[in-house]
Amino acid sequence: MKIFTVTNLARVLLLMSAAVLAVGLVGCQGDEEGGGGDLVGDWTGYSTTYGGETRYADEYMKMVLSFRASGELEFIVFEKIGNVWVEAFIGVGTYRVSGSMISIKLPSGPSGEEDEDVQYRVSGNYFTLIGHGYETTYKRVNIAEFKRSLDGPVYTNDPKLSSFAWYSQDDENEYIEFVGTAGTKVYGNGLYRYADDDGTMSYYTNGSKLVLVREDCDWGDNGGGHCTSFETFELTYKITGSGSDMQLSINGDIWLPTSR
């Protein structure tokens, strides 16, 4: 059985910052991590100017950067799926400030990767990264108030679902894989039991309910665009046991874990 691991961190960063965050948010060696007390707190993407064109934060996907005084940096994405928002925790990176320069290492970045520092400035409630030919601006927020301001209920996903890929107890050639980082996608031929996955499928959890959402999406030539048509399939799920004895039950069907 072959399990395909899919991540869309690059697309998330692209949507939030018009293809420039990948240039500025990189790791490098140098001073001590942390610093930059004026950065500590939560910031959400506001706008990016690149090639003389300014683009504002995506209406359907929003990123929050949470700078900690310890030098850690949390990346959280909020994705709108139909009339709800799903909070997806990408992971924890690190940042380092030296004077007017900042260097950020992404959670999934390769260890030891080096690149130039990026200039930054903080003005009131706005924080701006200044790179070669672009500026990306974030607005200070309180994450609790930010979540309340979204136009719909906010759900989070059960992290145990994305800890493994799952194969059917009855047929090891059937599998389901939940991508819990950098998005809310679910893949695998096992989905045909519950919904025809003929497009992009997302998911979220609500108590004991696992909701699959089939989407009709048009990302456009530059990675923009969004999903406009949604069909939901509400299933009952439960995870029992731990480690190699863990089992996932979906509508009574048993799925067993396999390492990615």
Q: How many CB atoms lie within 10 A of CB 26?
A: 18
Burial of 4 (0-12, 13-18, 19+ CB in 10 A): exposed
3-state secondary structure of 190: helix
Supply the pLDDT for residue 131: 83
Residue in the block written with tokens 């874990």: 257
Interval 159-172: pLDDT, tens: 888 888 899 999 98
Query: Comparing 36-45, 47-56, 57-66, 107-116, which segment has the lowest mean pLDDT?
Result: 107-116
* Partner residues linked to 230 by β-bridges: 215
- Let me know if the fold of 9-154 is the same as that of 155-258: yes
Interval 174-215: pLDDT, tens: 999 987 654 578 888 898 888 876 656 888 999 999 999 887
Fold (CATH) for 9-154: Lipocalin (2.40.128)
How many residues appear in the chain?
Answer: 260
pTM comes to 0.73
Fold (CATH) for 155-258: Lipocalin (2.40.128)
Q: For strands 247-250 and 226-240, give the pairing.
A: antiparallel
Domain boundaries, the chain: 9-154, 155-258
